[in-house]
Amino acid sequence: MCVGSYSGRVNVSVFARSNFVSEVQDVAGKASLILEFIEDYLAVPFPLPKLDLVALPHYSDPEPANHWGLIMIK
């Protein structure tokens, strides 16, 4: 299941299991606001046309995944 939002020119999507969507409903909107703030603060545009967040409730890797344009959240 996917929840989407649009931050200027960047499409922000959150992917989650269908039974978990209610808990990530507002994440895409908040991520869009954070992305806009960081772009304004650094005066550097986000270099990709999209940003994907994947909600993995049992994700336990202590290191962040190194995937360009993909953020895994718990």
Domains and CATH numbers, the chain: 2-73 (3.30.2010.30)
The pLDDT value recorded for residue 37 is: 92
The pLDDT value recorded for residue 42 is: 95
The pLDDT tens digits of the residues spanning 20-62 come to: 878 888 888 888 889 889 999 999 998 888 888 888 777 666 6
17 or 8, higher pLDDT: 17
6 or 72, higher pLDDT: 72
Is 18 within 8 Å of 56 (Cβ atoms)? Answer: no
Q: How many Å apart are CA 40 and CA 56, to the nearest integer? A: 29
For residue 17 the two structure tokens come to 């299991």
The pLDDT value recorded for residue 9 is: 80
Q: How many Å apart are CA 16 and CA 26, to the nearest integer? A: 12
Q: How many Å apart are CA 9 and CA 64, to the nearest integer? A: 25
In the Cβ-directed half-sphere of 29, how many Cα atoms lie within 13 Å?
4
